[in-house]
Structure 1
């Protein structure tokens, strides 16, 4: 599906009436990176880059992640697709921590709703990236990180 992501992104950009430079500025990434993605030179960007592009274009992040191949069609980033080590309590506690009205802090500074959403998005992106990497690993191949 990699070959289809660039033209898909270009079509979205053109539908929204953005030039490459306008999208680059709105997304906070370089115009050369946008061009390389659209022309298939760069390939599929990382989930965090897809998040920036989706936000800038005002399109669903999940749709772009599906087109990029991070999420299989019909699959959603939901509770059923969590790491094997995560128990129901882990999932519940993590969700509660990010959605709780109490102050969640980093380095002594309270995080606002946008910060919490970003944390959730980054962790989701990291999860899908790790899942894709595990799919590419051949059976019986050892993990190079261990």
Structure 2
């Protein structure tokens, strides 16, 4: 069960850092009861934004935690580029994460975005992206076939 694997990994990382549940909770900005439930496999997989907070607090790899949580498994062995619609152009496929990390000026609704704004947008998009991937994976598992096929 992915929840239990994620929880065991999280607990191991926490203990390696010499942190108590309360210390991790304070550092990550997450309740200690939520962390305890995750470690014991009682709570489901957290959202990507919560995993980001945990990775930062544990000085751990965000990608490894996302993988342990089951977010990074590829659907049917296809990578993201292969899952793009046929009509998508290069600009449509542009990596928004990379765009947000670049130093060039970026605006939203005519207002320039600072680094804090860009980071917030990146965090929200990351959470939404992985949440959507997880939902799509569940739909495929429930039906046995991808939706719309």
Establish whether TM, by shorter chain, passes 0.5: yes
Tell me, which stretches of 5 or more residues in structure 2 are unaligned? Answer: none
Q: How many residues align?
A: 137
TM-score (norm 1): 0.77
Q: CA deviation at 1:106?
A: 5.3
Residue 122 (structure 1) shift: 2.9
Q: How far 1:72 moved relative to its partner? A: 1.7
Deviation at 1:8, TM superposition (A): 0.9
> Aligned partners of 1:127, 1:134: CA distance in 2, in Å?
11
Structure 1 position 111, deviation (Å):
1.7
- Superimposed CA distance per residue, residues 33-85 of structure 1 (whole angstroms, 9 cap, x where no aligned partner): 11111111112111110010001111110000000001128xxxx86266536
Counterpart check, 1:16 vs 2:17 = yes
Unaligned runs of 5+ in 1: none
Length-normalised TM-score, structure 2 = 0.75
Q: Which moved more, 1:26-35 or 1:90-99?
A: 90-99
Query: Following TM superposition, by how much is the alpha carbon of 1:123 offset from its aligned partner in structure 2, in angstroms?
Result: 1.4
Whole-angstrom CA distance in 1 between matches of 2:113 and 2:21: 36
Distance across 1 between alignment mates of 2:88 and 2:124: 18
Evaluate the alpha carbon distance shift between residue 96 and residue 4 of structure 1 in structure 2; reply closer, same or farther with a 3 A threshold: closer
TM-align CA RMSD = 2.8
Q: Is the 8 A contact 1:33 1:42 kept in 2?
A: yes
Q: For residue 126 of structure 2, what is the aligned residue in structure 1? A: 124
Measure, in 1, the Cα distance between the counterparts of 2:45 and 2:95. Answer: 32
